[in-house]
């Protein structure tokens, strides 16, 4: 198994392969085909044929719903296999991968339930001899490109609504984490997905991925990943005016007021930033704390952060796992070094832990004394690094939290419900948590303001991204309009 093109599992045309190793301990997980441009173009052509020349796009919503439900059931019954594959590729703890699989199952079930509810709408034209109907149709052939931090979850947020809508697709997961996408495609094939409807290519972004944003046969590209790649994809897609959906990075503020529940705020400030070692697009990596509680709050965080245990997927004592690669670990180390040069104060971490020589780990790190003008506050580290800023007034807190070119998510901690609502309304971020951090629901739209993205995933709008809207107007009693007075001209 490797590439899935037009219903057939195949190797790359070049015969090239890539070895996948576990970032937590370096063991070889497997070897997969490394697609090149030629393989991706073949996959795009297969998806185009399946969309244009088969009955897939007009299958009933109930039939598509059945496919999604069957895959959800299969994923649920194979949770252990899927979670183990995810942990091997990403180095994350098995318990986290199991949560991820449960979320994937919910995603497929949510979209399965949503499809039959979309029957368009009839418009009252005020004229009984005309019918006006607005209907939704699949957008067409979709290029789906996903990152390595939540490989199967990010794929499911795209694959499930694309299939629900009646689209065909080519999925390209991160080259670092291919195995759960292979399993997902196998489960879809087993559940009856017709040949060519869903295709899988594996390989590097600039080669295997690039045609998905430039090829004229792609109607829509949906991308989750970094800002720089997102810009490139948007630019490439502009040549053929593709529909573009982008889920990009974030530098997410977590505002803590002095009247917040202390224990909950401390505990969740840690989870906000250090979950999955900070490799979360919505990580609360930017603590903005009221000046009057700053010293005690940061002391409490430092004490707790120093106790966080790191370890591999099967280390039951571990509380968070590995970073994806040596290159990513080194990028985080550079980010911290730069922050210190900018004047930040290192309160804890700032180095690799002892005793994990076979894997890629970095200690939970807290940088105090930061301000919005510092690079470390503006740029995403995508690692276990918290920057700390302070405020005195509510207005100052929201202004600081909005001082970013990102706008993905943010948290507010206060026991004053009116203040919480005022701040939530003032923040220009796509998700706001009040007295919580991280929960999301498949029913609620997910996505970013500003440079965190374009469009939404999940929810009704996440489904709508994969639909075109068509207005059909029918005249049941056609007559000459008389606009150009054609009959008078004939008489002359
Ligand atoms: P990345 O941008 O390096 O890669 C993402 C995907 O794009 C990979 O599959 C990669 O191979 C592919 N790619 C790279 N160059 C390409 C090109 N020229 N054409 C087509 N495809 C190309 O991102 P990453 O390092 O895998 O993921 C981390 C980033 O993802 C972070 O910035 C994170 O915030 C973001 N992210 C965002 C969300 C969200 O919901 N907003 C969720 C998860 C991750």
Per-residue pLDDT 10s for the chain (492 aa) are: 799 999 999 999 999 999 999 999 999 999 999 999 999 999 999 999 999 999 999 999 999 999 999 999 999 999 999 999 999 999 999 999 999 999 999 999 999 999 877 678 999 999 999 999 999 999 999 999 999 999 999 999 999 999 999 999 999 999 999 999 999 999 999 999 999 999 999 999 999 999 999 999 999 999 999 999 999 999 999 999 999 999 999 999 999 999 999 999 999 999 999 999 999 999 999 999 999 999 999 999 999 999 999 999 999 999 999 999 999 999 999 999 999 999 999 999 999 999 999 999 999 999 999 999 999 999 999 999 999 999 999 999 999 999 999 999 999 999 999 999 999 999 999 999 999 999 999 999 999 999 999 999 999 999 999 999 999 999 999 999 889 987 666 655
User: 344: which residues sit within 8 A by CB, 6+ positions away?
Assistant: 367, 368, 369, 370, 374, 376, 387
Contact present, 158 and 222 (Cβ < 8 Å) = yes
Q: Residue 77 corresponds to which tokens in the numbers above?
A: 């019954």
Tokens found for residue 71: 């895959």
Tell me the best of 40, 152, 225, 283 to mutate to test the pocket of ligand 1, counting ligand atoms within 8 Å of each CB and taking the most.
Answer: 225
The pLDDT, as a whole number, for residue 487 is: 67
148 ligand 1 Cβ < 6 A: yes
Q: Are 202 and 34 in contact (CB under 8 A)?
A: yes
Task: For residue 229, give the ligand 1 atom closest to its CA.
Answer: 2
How many A from CA of 408 to the centre of ligand 1? 15
Closest Cα partner for 458 from 473, 439, 477?
439
Is residue 217 within 8 Å of residue 196, measured between CB atoms? Answer: no
Would you call 463 exposed, middle or buried from its count of C-beta atoms within 10 A (0-12, 13-18, 19+)? buried
Nearest CA to ligand 1 atom 42: 281
- H/E stretch holding 68 reads helix 61-77
Rounded distance from Cα 176 to ligand 1 centre (Å) = 11
Q: Containing H/E element for 86?
A: helix 79-90
What pLDDT sits at residue 120? 86
Q: Is 247 a catalytic residue?
A: yes
CA-nearest residue for atom 14, ligand 1, is 205
Ligand 1 site-directed mutation target among 229, 275, 324, 454, most atoms within 8 Å of CB = 229
- The pLDDT score that the predictor gives to residue 491 is 58
DSSP assignment of 205-260 equals: IIIIITHHHH-TT--EEEEES-HHHHHHHHHHHHTTT-EEEEE-----EEEE-TTS
In this structure, the strands spanning 409-413 and 253-256 are parallel
Alpha-carbon gap, residue 328 to 330, rounded angstroms: 5
- Catalytic site includes residue 142: no
Cα 465 to ligand 1 centroid, rounded to whole Å? 19
* 100: enclosing H helix or E strand: helix 94-114
d(CA 227, CA 235): 12
Nearest ligand 1 atom to alpha carbon 452? 41
Give the residue, out of 35, 147, 279, 324, with the most ligand 1 atoms within 8 A of its beta carbon, to mutate for a pocket test: 147
Q: Atom of ligand 1 at shortest distance to CA of 328?
A: 25
Rg of the chain over Cα atoms, rounded to whole angstroms, equals: 25
C-alpha–C-alpha distance, residues 34 and 361, integer Å: 27
How far is 355 from 197, CA to CA, in rounded Å? 47
Helix (H) or strand (E) holding 264: helix 262-274
Q: How far is the CA of 229 from the centre of ligand 1 (A)?
A: 6
Q: Distance, CA 153 to ligand 1 centroid (Å)?
A: 14
Residue 453 CA, closest ligand 1 atom number: 41
Closest C-alpha residue for ligand 1 atom 11: 205
Query: pTM here?
Result: 0.97
247 lines ligand 1 (CB under 6 A): yes
pLDDT tens digits, 190-226 = 999 999 999 999 999 999 999 999 999 999 999 999 9
Given a contact cutoff of 8 angstroms between Cβ atoms, the answer to whether 415 and 261 are in contact is yes
Which atom in ligand 1 lies closest to the alpha carbon of residue 232?
18
pLDDT at 102: 98
């Amino acid at each position: 198994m490797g590439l899935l093109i037009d219903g057939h599992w195949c190797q790359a045309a070049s015969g090239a392969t890539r070895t996948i190793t576990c970032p937590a301990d370096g063991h070889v997980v497997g070897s997969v085909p490394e697609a090149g441009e030629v393989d991706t173009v073949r996959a795009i052509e297969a998806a185009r044929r399946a969309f244009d020349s088969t009955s897939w796009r007009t299958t009933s919503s109930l039939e598509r719903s059945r496919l999604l439900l069957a895959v959800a059931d299969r994923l649920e019954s194979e949770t252990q296999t899927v979670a183990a594959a995810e942990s091997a590729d990403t180095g994350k703890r098995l318990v986290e991968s199991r949560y991820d699989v449960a979320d994937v199952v919910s995603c497929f079930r949510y979209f399965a339930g949503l499809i039959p509810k979309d029957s368009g709408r009839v418009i009252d034209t005020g004229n009984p001899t005309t019918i006006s109907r607005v209907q939704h149709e699949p957008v067409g052939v979709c290029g789906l490109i996903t990152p390595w931090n939540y490989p199967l979850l990010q794929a499911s947020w795209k694959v499930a609504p694309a299939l629900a809508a009646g689209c065909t697709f080519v999925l390209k997961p991160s080259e670092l984490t291919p195995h759960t996408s292979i399993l997902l495609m196998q489960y879809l094939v087993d559940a009856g997905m017709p040949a060519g409807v869903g295709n899988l290519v594996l390989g590097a972004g600039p080669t295997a991925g690039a045609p998905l944003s430039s090829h004229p046969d792609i109607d829509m590209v949906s991308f989750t990943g970094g800002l720089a790649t997102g810009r490139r994809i948007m630019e490439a897609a502009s040549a053929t005016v593709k529909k573009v959906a982008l889920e990009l990075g974030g530098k997410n503020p977590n505002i803590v007021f002095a009247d917040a529940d202390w224990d909950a705020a401390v505990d969740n400030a840690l989870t906000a930033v250090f979950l999955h070692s900070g490799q979360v697009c919505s990580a609360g990596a930017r603590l903005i704390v009221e000046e009057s509680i700053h010293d005690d709050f940061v002391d409490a965080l430092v004490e707790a952060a120093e106790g966080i245990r790191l370890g591999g997927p099967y280390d039951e004592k571990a509380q968070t796992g590995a970073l994806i690669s040596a290159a990513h670990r080194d990028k985080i180390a550079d980010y911290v070094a730069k922050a210190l040069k900018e004047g930040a104060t290192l309160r804890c971490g700032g180095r690799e832990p002892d005793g994990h020589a076979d894997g890629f780990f970095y200690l939970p790190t807290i940088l105090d004394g930061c301000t919005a003008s510092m690079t470390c506050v503006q740029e995403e580290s995508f690692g276990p690094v918290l920057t700390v800023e302070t405020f005195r007034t509510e207005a100052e807190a929201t202004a600081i939290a909005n001082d970013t070119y990102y706008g993905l998510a943010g948290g507010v901690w206060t026991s004053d419900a009116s203040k919480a609502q005022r701040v939530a309304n003032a923040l220009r971020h796509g998700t706001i948590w009040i007295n919580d951090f991280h929960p999301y629901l498949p029913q609620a739209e997910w996505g970013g303001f500003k440079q965190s993205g374009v469009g939404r995933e999940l929810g009704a709008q996440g489904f709508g991204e994969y639909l075109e809207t068509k207005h059909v107007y029918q005249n049941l009693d056609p007559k000459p309009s008389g606009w150009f007075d054609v009959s008078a001209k004939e008489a002359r």
